[in-house]
Structure 1
């Protein structure tokens, strides 16, 4: 214990903050109001996110991850870019991991469509891996609404174990995960399983039965862990309640359970703080956060400054 105390006493907070500033990185703590709700509620959420870029935190609460193999077929490349482009056009943020292959094509698809996309890295946010993605890394930083982020401090070099760890953040940031093309040992299957365990929707693009590159996606579908999608409409139909049937308008929804309880409390006040909702409701903090996400995405409530809420 004495060694830990001694080590902590040598940490200079001012020096750390200056280092972040010098590297144009900012830190978002778990307790901050802008910390993404969906990520806050997962098992073992990151204590801090280190971010380069200017993500849109409102749109970040309406996002879908697009992941897959690092060695996609031309078909996989085309589909990843096409789906990401359509999501971007509809105001849905594309989450991925900036790896070669499906990840990169997904990021570019969203950017070129004028949408937003966020890369979750298995290294510090300023460490470009793979190095061949230098242009993509810079584009993510420069494009409004886009960003690269990581739970690892700037300068942290990638280690093999970091990539499975970051997968929980990719799925945690998203309302759903789309696996475009993946073999039996693809790391994207870990992301899909994380999403499944987190209660997120999981989707997969079917592939040829004689193609090893599609063994993983086909297995997700056959084991009922993923819903088969063959078009963007298949995917968006599952999210019509948050996409406003694709026209940006809230979809009237009938509320039940936690969402109805929270909505009724919000409607009874001109505006109400998160802490007051926690006191007055029967929900845990995690359940309350989840209910608020659902209500925001449905267009039923609006989040205000200072973690306050009002009915839309």
Structure 2
């Protein structure tokens, strides 16, 4: 394909209302994106309003200016027919005909798991997400998520901490992603060269309520399967799970406390035959990846003295506040606080807030 033809593919990605389905229709009828751009859309039977909107956009759109903006921001683009376009995404019937990227996709990113869930993450959800993410990264998988707060953030951050790769799928133009808490996350991913940020939306496109569910099909499309670690019954992460089913991907869910409304979504998925996840092996077995036992053994939590052994034993089956730990271990609070601080620095325990502790990764 010539660069000139590719230019018009990218041009169509900027046209409001032209998605994969309409672009496919145009390409089939006109034979090329260039001919479609310069042609009369009445021939294809588009509605009068769509034709009028396109004609107005075409008159005003400046290719040179747009490509200059892409270059200044360091944004790359791949069209559906490029050899570097992700193969797993290419398989989708509604695959984006253009994707924009910050960073680069590597061949190893074909081995990826999507991790999604609630934005209102609990201590339990954070612990589970971090633990499973760390184990997946230790077994060579790339982590795909949606750059949202909560489960998404925990998954991306843990992948980075573990030295793994992560892909963030954004619901707007890549010039709109550097806001709030996402700014430092995106900067880390790109500065450390540990992943990429992807969007099907052009520069200048602000994320909308409707584009978040739309981007979910890309999260699942880039993944061998989707893991939901914690979610309410109306969570958007269930849309990602639905996309995964429709795309023939595996859906995994972590059971949670029945007293928590943020476990209702995962419970629903499990009733609908999602694969129950107790540990990382449940995922790896389903996607036919052998467990790297050495990697997991290296992260096994081992106490260094009798007091640490007592503390870890008290946290084996549930999270506890410091008063409960003191009562069970019979260690004075003054001494216990110091030990907990050391264990926290080692990453052996985590403070889940309100002096409640759980086992670390």
Q: Give the TM-score normalised by structure 1.
A: 0.74
- Does the 8 A contact of 1:83 with 1:232 survive in 2? yes
Partner of 1:246: 292
* Aligned with 1:55 (options 105, 112, 133): 105
1:1-312 paired onto structure 2 within 5 Å: 1=41, 3=52, 4-5=54-55, 7-56=57-106, 58-128=107-177, 131-224=180-273, 226-240=274-288, 243-246=289-292
Runs (5+) with no aligned partner, structure 2? 1-40, 42-50, 295-361
DSSP 3-state at the match of 1:52: strand
Q: Distance in 1 between matches of 2:211 and 2:56?
A: 27
DSSP 3-state at the match of 2:137: helix
- Does the 8 A contact of 1:177 with 1:202 survive in 2? yes
How far did residue 245 of structure 1 move? 4.5
DSSP 3-state at the match of 1:119: strand
Q: 1:129 to 1:164 in 2, by over 3 A?
A: farther
How far did residue 155 of structure 1 move? 2.6
Q: Distance in 1 between matches of 2:177 and 2:70?
A: 16
Q: 1:192 to 1:130 in 2, by over 3 A?
A: farther
Structure with bigger gyration radius: 2
Cα offsets for 1:140-178 (capped at 9, x unmatched): 222224011100112321110000000000000101000
Cα offsets for 1:238-283 (capped at 9, x unmatched): 123xx344389xxxxxxxxxxxxxxxxxxxxxxxxxxxxxxxxxxx
Runs (5+) with no aligned partner, structure 1? 249-312
Q: Distance in 1 between matches of 2:55 and 2:201?
A: 22
How far did residue 38 of structure 1 move? 1.2
DSSP 3-state at the match of 1:139: helix
Partner of 1:291: none
- Does the 8 A contact of 1:185 with 1:216 survive in 2? yes
- Does the 8 A contact of 1:63 with 1:174 survive in 2? yes
Cα offsets for 1:47-82 (capped at 9, x unmatched): 1111112332x1121100000000011010111111
- Does the 8 A contact of 1:53 with 1:142 survive in 2? no
Q: Distance in 2 between matches of 1:153 and 1:118?
A: 18
Greater RCO (Cα-Cα under 8 Å, separation 6 or more): 1
Query: Which moves more between the two structures, 117-126 or 168-177?
Result: 117-126
DSSP 3-state at the match of 1:131: coil
- Does the 8 A contact of 2:144 with 2:169 survive in 1? yes
DSSP 3-state at the match of 2:266: helix
- Does the 8 A contact of 2:163 with 2:194 survive in 1? no
Q: 1:7 to 1:133 in 2, by over 3 A?
A: closer
How far did residue 201 of structure 1 move? 0.3
Q: Distance in 1 between matches of 2:56 and 2:213?
A: 32
Q: Calculate the aligned-residue CA RMSD, in Å.
A: 1.8
Q: Distance in 2 between matches of 1:130 and 1:99?
A: 11
Aligned residues: 244
